[in-house]
Amino acid sequence: MIIILAAMANTSYAQERVIDGIVFDKTTTERIAKVNIQNSRTKQSVYNTLKAEFKITAQPGDLLIINKTGYFTDTVKVAANPTILVYLKPTSIQLKQVTIRDSALNPQKRYLATKQEYSKAYGSNAYRDVLSVSPGSGAGISIDALWNMFSREGRNAARLQEVIERDYRENQIDYRFNKTFVSSITGLHDPQLSDFMQKYRPGYYTINSLSQYDFVNSIRANLKRYLRNPTAFTLQTLQ
């Protein structure tokens, strides 16, 4: 009897082995990291590496539960093959920034086109320093700078430049913080979408300093604030 039990234990132990696996995004087929893998029988739980690879002890017939935030939980049955390829389906469609655009021209091209159209405003007005330094003649007075300071045409050109630069910054924000992109992140639709975008419109510095990952997280954080109190920042109706 003892011999039989020992033989059964050895057989069961012999079936235990280390399983290798890799986790992919089912939509993009790209590797995804920080995925939790749990053996439902032994309750052993591991996370895969930054290369999306994992190792876990299992035997044929064990069920591995694959879980990650943003993806549907999946289960994989361990077979004879020692390597497992897992494809997780995302819970929502993640659109890449470069494919989401509300206008044909990006802000940089529009900015250059506007500067070309109003090229006169960027002529002599480009010389803003009153003191000028010429080779061999030393410091002197810049005629162009004086013209900009005191002439009506010069002042108008300066104002036009300010308008063009301001529009360029606003276009940069609109280009990245557009309805198609924000709706895909928040799930909101008009009129809520427009209300949210108006109240939580990011600044020019935010648009240019945050990575795509941090930018998406900031939108989601603002969405939580908005859903807690949708009437916040609403202007009162004038009496």
pLDDT reported for residue 5: 46
Question: Among residues 93, 109, 111, which one has the least CA distance to residue 180?
Answer: 93
Instruction: Please state the domain extents for the chain.
Output: 15-88, 108-175, 177-231
pLDDT reported for residue 132: 42
CATH number of 15-88: 2.60.40.1120
Q: Which long-range contacts (CB under 8 A, 24 or more apart) does 103-109 make?
A: 103/174, 103/175, 106/175, 107/168, 107/171, 107/172, 107/174, 107/175
Residues in the chain: 239
pLDDT reported for residue 156: 62
pLDDT reported for residue 115: 60
pLDDT reported for residue 234: 60
Predicted TM-score of the model (pTM):
0.39
Per-residue pLDDT of the chain (239 residues; tens, 9 = 90+): 544 444 444 444 447 899 999 999 988 888 999 999 999 999 999 999 988 999 999 999 999 999 998 899 999 999 877 788 999 998 865 544 444 444 445 766 766 666 666 565 555 444 444 344 444 444 444 444 444 544 555 556 666 677 677 877 888 888 889 899 999 999 999 888 998 998 899 988 888 888 888 999 999 999 999 999 887 766 444 44
